[in-house]
Amino acid sequence: MSESCRMTRVVCFMVSAVSLGILAGCGIPLDDQARDLVIDLPDALLPAESTTTEEPIPPALATETVQIYLARADQDDRMVLHPVDREIQGDGSINVILAEVLAGPSLIEQEAELVSPFAEGSTVVGTVLQDGLLEIHLDSLEGFPQDDSTGNRLAFAMLVCTAVDLVVGAEIDRVAILLDGETGLEPINAPVSDGEPPVEGFPVTCENYVSFLVSEPDLGA
């Protein structure tokens, strides 16, 4: 080994010895294994707290009271239309109101002997109001009674007369019901209980269902 190499090793040994002495003198323990250091850092050096953004809770939708027609048997066991109040959420649009007709009576309304001929299977998919004519667009007629019966005519009476008599703020005097099929909107012939049957595809009015309306008492009798 050369003289320069020996001198380098001696110098390295002396530096190491001096370093160990300094560390020992400063009181820093030399452990065989690593250990955690607990240090109180100044606030400026602490990591920033996480800021988790919570989704805002949407405000409760406003409700309003509307009226729809359901049905009940009168003293002569004749089915007649009967207006009921409904609390609905939303803007009180014609679509929402007519959807309540198709939904039928609530449990409380059933206890009050209110009924509906509708079953599940029909949905109002749109309405168009122009010059007093309301078009009601349905996705199917599966929710209607599938025969030429009093129940079938009563179902159309509830839908038509609710639109004509009970929708507040809309000037509706006649109703056309259209089926939204594969080839587009197709008008259907609404069965009526009173008056002449309409021409195929023509609209109907609540006057076509007067036999389902409650007669006004004759005060002069």
Listed by start position, the domains of the chain span 64-212
pLDDT tens digit string along 24-42?
Answer: 445 555 556 555 555 555 5
- Which two tokens mark 113? 């002997």
Identity at 36, one-letter amino acid code: D
Angle of helix 94-103 relative to helix 150-161, nearest 10 degrees, comes to 150
One-letter amino acid identity for 134? Answer: L
Q: What pTM was estimated for this model as a whole?
A: 0.70
Confidence of residue 214 (pLDDT cuts 50, 70, 90): confident
Q: How many CB atoms lie within 10 A of CB 59?
A: 6
> Chain-wide mean pLDDT for the chain?
81
Report the SS3 class of residue 126.
strand
Specify which of 55-59, 176-180, 217-221 reaches the highest per-range mean pLDDT.
Answer: 176-180
> Which runs of consecutive H residues, i.e. helices, occur in the chain?
3-25, 94-103, 107-111, 150-161
Question: So what's the pLDDT on residue 58?
Answer: 58
HSE value, Cβ hemisphere, 13 Å, CA-based, for 163: 32
